[in-house]
Amino acid sequence: MKISAGYAISYDCPQPTPMILQLSVHPSRTSDLVTRDHMRFDPPIPAKTYHDGFGNFCHVIRAPAGRLTMSANFLVRDDGVPDVIALQAEQHALEDLPVEVLIFLLGSRYCETDRLSNIAWSLFGNVPKGWPLVRAICDYVHDRITFGYQYASPTKTAWDAHSERRGVCRDFAHLAVTLCRCMNVPARYCTGYLGDIGVPVDASPMDFSAWFEVYLGGRWYTFDARHNKPRIGRILMGRGRDATDVAIVTSFGPCTLASFKVVTDEVTSTAADEYAAGASLSPAETTGFVN
């Protein structure tokens, strides 16, 4: 299958403002791109690019005073296979984990393992380790938190989400990641595109979304406590300890989000061929939310 994806995001800045942008497709998916994932700026400005410590592709810019719009649109191949289920995937003993995985057992800005450890062990201490444990954590988080865009908050932590019992997809991911880490399962936060592909249209459509990955049986597996079922069409943008590491825009000065639009649509083979050839393709834009 092929997916047409992209965004148009505008900020108003009262003065020139440095920013770090993490809006590009993750390097692990660049080989799937049919057309280039090229970021455009209006007005045109230069950008410095680099890979951060987690392997994500980032841009550094200085947004001018006034309105800046950043946008991209591209076509990407996807295997259309749902998230892998591996019921027999085993949990590793701490001493057997690769050293580069250990950081994903530690607390972080939005994942307070110290505050949730007792709760985690009281809930899941008797659950079989490995896949059944992570599955039980996802079920718990999915049932505990009520989803709603009106509950979004850039400062909400896993502890807050657990206490308030409401949030957006990043809050589902933060709480699940934290509980996994408390139970000695390495877990990392992920962000990317996830449109309503292969599922009934959602009243709260998802385009940019958050999910997480856990390390079991010698590899990373995808889990999604928000939807709590395998999905197709994920396009990874970034991985990290939590939302701090994969924020789509980090500004170093005052600015105001003026508009935010995201596209994630499956396209037909004919439309995809026209797109790749440079013809105009205009999938419906949906208003998204930074979650």
CATH of the domain at 185: 3.10.620.30
Q: At what angle do helices 113-124 and 169-182 cross, to 10 degrees?
A: 70
Note whether 26 and 237 are within 8 A (CB): yes
Q: Is 87 part of any domain? A: no
Alpha carbon of residue 203 to chain centroid: 20
pLDDT tens digits along 185-211: 999 999 999 998 988 877 766 679 999
Structural domains of the chain, count: 2
Q: Is 89 part of any domain? A: no
pLDDT value of residue 200: 82
158/189 same-domain check? yes
Task: Report how far residue 211's alpha carbon sits from residue 173's, in angstroms, rounded to the nearest whole number.
Answer: 5
pLDDT tens digits along 132-174: 999 999 999 999 999 999 999 999 999 999 999 999 999 999 9
pLDDT value of residue 289: 31
* 50 token code pair: 């680099």
Task: Report how far residue 84's alpha carbon sits from residue 199's, in angstroms, rounded to the nearest whole number.
Answer: 17
Q: CATH number, domain at 49?
A: 2.60.40.2250
pLDDT value of residue 204: 65
pLDDT value of residue 269: 67
pLDDT value of residue 278: 58
132/215 same-domain check? yes
- 């889990």: which residue's tokens? 223
23/139 same-domain check? no
230/150 same-domain check? yes
Q: At what angle do helices 131-144 and 169-182 cross, to 10 degrees?
A: 140
**Regions of the chain with pLDDT less than 70:** 204-206, 269-291
pLDDT value of residue 273: 63
- 């049919």: which residue's tokens? 34
Partner residues linked to 208 by β-bridges: 193
| pTM recorded for the entire structure | 0.91
pLDDT value of residue 202: 74
Note whether 192 and 26 are within 8 A (CB): yes
